[in-house]
Chains A and B, each alone.
Chain A
Amino acid sequence: MVVWTDFERTTIQDIFSKIDYAVVGQAAFSRCLIVYPWTQRYFGQFGNLYNAAAIASNPKVAAHGKVIMEALEKAVKDMDNIKATYAELSALHSEKLQVDPDNFMLLGDCLTIVVASQLGKNFTAEVHAAFQKFLAVVVSSLRRQYY
């Protein structure tokens, strides 16, 4: 059972209330596809991913970035039940999409970097730690249904 301090709860909710899901989602997801190109293997149907410029302007990438942020919001809204919240998504990623779960943290790292660039000095070490902890819990929940 994950124990959240008041600071952690407030911090996570605060971050998600401040960021624009479309902007941050697109930035994080496209960065992941560019910096870790092997992650493109799961997105054959997204069209042109041939280079950084193509990825950055790809509308399917942008749309999917937003989808990812909206899915993360579910965890933000119910931080004491993240395991249950993601049970279905975990099964989806393991059985249908067959994503190597090591990739989840790559996207998590890119998201952290994008949020850090956006918030600047407000992304203090304590805020950073809370955000990494939140993502670690999300990733752990997404890994649960793999067998």
Chain B
Amino acid sequence: MTDTQRPFVQKTTEENADMSLSGKDKAVVKNFWGKVAPKAAEIGGEALGRMLTSYPQTKTYFSHWADLSPGSAQVKKHGATIMAAVGDAVSKIDDLTGGLSTLSELHAFKLRVDPANFRILAHNLILCMAMFFPGDFTPEVHLSVDKFLQNVAFALSEKYR
């Protein structure tokens, strides 16, 4: 049923989660991503490294790596992979659930990452964005990016149960 068929019924939580990005949020995220894109790989590597150092419980998901220190090649490479996926999510910002469906299945059935960790990684991504772009990462940009990453996390957890 579309909204026009049931205009007075409250939206379900899932709809709210997917719809909570306003037009302005999307514009802000896309605009900021344009600036971030050249440094995306570096930011991703930094963020992942910091997450593993500051939140040691996250290391449990990478016990198969030899070197979990911030500068390690594996960490940098995987951070770049993650950030590329975030960039892809920006391009799919109008339908994150659909766009991230395959990734959600991966995280749900194969990786089985507790979704609480998505928030931890988001914090570290945001921190690195603030470090690399202090002038551009205003509180308003921070707000929209935080909402966006929350929506990405939600889309990633869709297939869990």
Contact = CB atoms under 8 A, between A and B. Distances in A.
Interface of A: 30-31, 34-35, 52, 55-56, 109, 112-114, 116-118, 120-121, 123-126, 128-129, 132-133
A30 B139 contact: yes
A114 B137 CA distance: 10
Contacts of A52: 139-140, 143
B43 to A, nearest CB: 12
B23 interface: no
A31 B142 contact: yes
Contacts of B142: 31, 34-35, 113
Given A30-B139, A52-B140, A113 B50 contact: no
B53 A129 contact: yes
Contact of B139 (A35, A116, A126, A128): A35
A125 B53 contact: yes
The secondary-structure label for the interface of chain A is helix
B148 to A, nearest CB: 12
A117 B139 contact: no
Interface stretch (B8-16, B59-67, B98-106, B122-130): B122-130
Contacts of B46: 125
